[in-house]
Amino acid sequence: LRAALYAKGIMKLPEGFGRGAGRTQSRCDRPQYDRGAPVAKLLLDENATVTITHSRTKNLADVTREAEILVVAIGRPKFVTADMVGDGAVVIDVGVNRDPETGKLCGDVDFEACEPKASLITKVPGGVGPMTIACLIENTIEAFLKKVAK
């Protein structure tokens, strides 16, 4: 079974900077299992310790601060603030929202506030989306090569 393209793209982001996923990992996700499950599965396959959370998780900031890799897909603009990010964390923002103040696209992470604390952080737009497209191209090439090899 192939991984969802966005999940595969998310996994490639830390790898591209020489960071493996075999670490503690916490997800801040919608209470919808279909979004978090593919990423959680890939992280578990890499021997990461995975914690799946949602907006009503008790002591959410305490949980997310412990994450070495924080993948955020909660569906709320700038929901994750600097106090929710541990020093040196890898922060991957999957959310795409409209900032209610400016009308511009933004993620679920307050990028400007969290950037100084993170060792790596993705921006919205421009973070996970291009990696998803790259994974689509990679899958297309793999499928072509398999077909030609038959």
Ranges assigned E (strand) in the chain: 24-29, 49-53, 69-73, 90-93, 97-98, 105-106, 120-121
How far is the C-alpha of 43 from the C-alpha of 49, rounded, in Å? 8
Residue 69 DSSP class: E
* pTM for the structure as a whole: 0.83
State yes or no: pLDDT of 19 exceeds 70.
Answer: no
What pLDDT, on the 0 to 100 scale, is given for residue 2? Answer: 65
What pLDDT, on the 0 to 100 scale, is given for residue 87? Answer: 96
Residue 36: which CATH number?
A: 3.40.50.720
* Residue 119 pLDDT class (50, 70, 90 cuts): very high
Number of folded domains in the chain? 1
* Residue 140 pLDDT class (50, 70, 90 cuts): very high
Supply the range of the domain harboring residue 125.
5-149
State yes or no: pLDDT of 1 exceeds 50.
Answer: no
